[in-house]
């Protein structure tokens, strides 16, 4: 098999993937763990849910271990919570940002664009329950090309970026 050409640097439990083992993708995350937390929203008698976070590579999205201009596609779905209970289902599912979340997201965008090939595509997913998407977009070096506008109702935005042809790694 050839080297992966798609990067998901914050894969978590790979919730958004239809093929959670897609051969063209490398799944990375800072966490590698199995978490069982209480979540009574799914009607299980014991109220417990288990989440498996099993990245191919343990990495920090703020300092990616890849060369410049490698990937054709980056799927960037960073943690979007700054407030969540330590053992909550949302914290387990999505992870949490540090107090300096702006620096984290700015570094994440910079790294994702660095490893993305010129004219490559970055798909960015953000839920604005706690932080508005407009605040996050101020941290990207590029503006999105397009995305969904239904986020105001459900809070989740999908935005598509293209790395400019002349941009350096």
* In contact, 155 and 127? CB cutoff 8 Å: yes
Q: Is 82 within the bounds of a domain?
A: yes
Tally the domains of the chain: 1
Higher pLDDT, 112 or 152: 112
Q: Is 104 within the bounds of a domain?
A: yes
**103 Cβ contact list (under 8 Å, min separation 6):** none
> What pTM did the predictor assign?
0.89
Q: Is 169 within the bounds of a domain?
A: no
List pLDDT tens digits, range 69-101.
Answer: 999 999 999 999 888 877 677 777 788 888 999
> What span, in angstroms and rounded, lies between the C-alpha atoms of 117 and 5?
10
**Residue percentage of the chain with pLDDT more than 90:** 64
Q: Residue 156 is part of which domain span? A: 6-162
* In contact, 163 and 146? CB cutoff 8 Å: no
Q: What is the CATH number of the domain that holds 148?
A: 3.40.50.150
Q: Is 156 within the bounds of a domain?
A: yes
As a whole number, the mean pLDDT across the chain is 89
Measure CA 20 to chain center.
14
Q: Is 1 within the bounds of a domain?
A: no
pLDDT (average), residues 144-154: 77
Q: Would you say the C-alpha torsion 28, 135, 123, 2 has a positive or negative sign?
A: negative
């Amino acid at each position: 098999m050839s080297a992966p050409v798609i990067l998901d640097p914050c894969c978590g439990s790979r919730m958004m993937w239809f093929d959670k083992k897609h051969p063209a993708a490398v799944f990375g995350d800072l966490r590698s763990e199995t978490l069982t937390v209480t979540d009574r929203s799914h009607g299980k008698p014991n109220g417990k849910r288990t989440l498996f976070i099993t990245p191919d590579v343990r990495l920090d999205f703020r300092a990616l271990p890849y060369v410049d201009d490698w990937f054709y596609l980056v799927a960037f779905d960073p943690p979007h919570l700054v407030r969540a209970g330590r053992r909550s289902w949302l914290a387990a599912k999505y992870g949490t940002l540090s107090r300096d979340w702006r620096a984290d997201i700015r570094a994440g965008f910079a790294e994702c664009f660095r490893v993305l090939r010129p004219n490559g595509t970055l798909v960015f997913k953000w839920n604005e329950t706690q932080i508005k998407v407009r605040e996050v977009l101020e941290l990207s070096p590029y503006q999105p090309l397009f995305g969904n506008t239904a986020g105001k109702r459900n809070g989740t935005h999908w935005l598509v970026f293209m790395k400019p042809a002349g941009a350096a790694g």
